[in-house]
Amino acid sequence: MPPLPTGFPASDAQDDFTRARRRQAIRRLGRRFERGGEDIDVILPFDEVVAELGRVAERDLGLKLIELDSIVGTVDRGGAGNFDRRFAPTSSRVRVRWERIAELMRRGGSLPPISVFRVGEVHFVRDGHHRVSVARAHGLTHIEARVVEVTTRVGADRELTLADLPMKGHERLFRERVPLPAAARKRVVLTDPWRYGQLAEGVEAWGFRVMQDRAELLSREENARLWFEDEFVPVVTMIREAGLATPRQTDADAYFTVAAARYRLMRTQEWTPEILERLRAEGEGPGR
């Protein structure tokens, strides 16, 4: 929260900006001593994020009250150069407009709603960077916004950083190559995003063998559904029952590791009790 007003709103607004800049500089200095810390405070660029996540559609949600903490990015490249991820000012270029808004807020004036894109759990400012910055500096927790929701193939949470984008791209490509139904998608999650490409190839190879056996073509959607129902779910159940997975592993982690080990050992895609026993004996199961 800003200090109590002195009775001179213009002077108070100037002090607000100085404090906001000082806090941002101190936080940035602290990040330099953290491994990979600086990236955490970098404002996210909307176009790059959506490109990696895979844009699907959008819809107008109208006027909403949104959390300021959920605003982590910008559509405007200029905004990226003037504010950090918390929308603290990083440049004195924004001072005049910033202080004008701060003074208006200190006088009790009302401001128009900002405009944002919503992607998953986070928001990207289209219009209203200074209003967001001043609101956060004044200790507010929510702000009124006109929201357009953009749906993507891969979701975004509040922990997303620039460094995550290439890995999110791998996940997006998997979702495009293996278009699972929504419920199934929640179970096929790898903790190592670099493995998504290999898993996609495995699913496609599985589908190719099914098409050969059936002598018919399958769409990507049909192949994904059949793989999930006839291969993934039964195999994960067997892996869990056989004790070949650790509690910390996702179902997809367990499937990926044991499936790869099975093929290396047996050169087969079949699942039998003997294969599971050999995997356990060879110590090739996940977490071994």
Token digits of residue 218: 């399958």
Task: Give me the pLDDT at residue 31, please.
Answer: 60
* C-alpha torsion sign, points 64, 67, 68, 69: negative
Sheet holding 142-152, edge to edge: 44-45, 71-74, 122-127, 114-119, 142-152, 55-67
> CB-based burial of residue 38 (10 Å sphere; 0-12 exposed, 13-18 middle, 19+ buried)?
middle
Q: What is the pLDDT of residues 269-279, one digit of tens each?
A: 566 666 666 66
Task: Give me the pLDDT at residue 22, please.
Answer: 80
Rounded CA gap, 187 and 202, in Å? 17
- Per the CB < 8 A criterion, the answer to whether 115 and 63 are in contact is no
Q: What is the mean pLDDT of each run of 10 residues along the chain (288 residues)?
A: 70 84 73 56 91 94 97 82 89 91 91 96 96 94 97 90 87 93 91 90 91 92 95 91 85 86 56 65 52
Task: Give me the pLDDT at residue 276, please.
Answer: 64
Rounded CA gap, 126 and 74, in Å? 6
- Per the CB < 8 A criterion, the answer to whether 50 and 101 are in contact is no
What is the pTM (predicted TM-score) of this model?
0.72
Task: Give me the pLDDT at residue 182, please.
Answer: 86
**Backbone φ, ψ for residue 147 (5° rounding):** -110, 130
Task: Give me the pLDDT at residue 29, please.
Answer: 66
Range(s) for CATH 3.90.1530.10 in the chain? 9-159
Class of domain 9-159: alpha beta
- Per the CB < 8 A criterion, the answer to whether 33 and 124 are in contact is no
The residue whose two tokens read 């399958």 is 218
Task: Give me the pLDDT at residue 286, please.
Answer: 46
Close Cβ partners of 222 (under 8 Å, ≥ 6 residues apart): none
Rounded CA gap, 200 and 180, in Å? 11
Closest Cα partner for 191 from 203, 199, 202?
A: 199
Rounded CA gap, 43 and 25, in Å? 15
Rounded CA gap, 143 and 68, in Å? 6
Task: Give me the pLDDT at residue 100, please.
Answer: 94
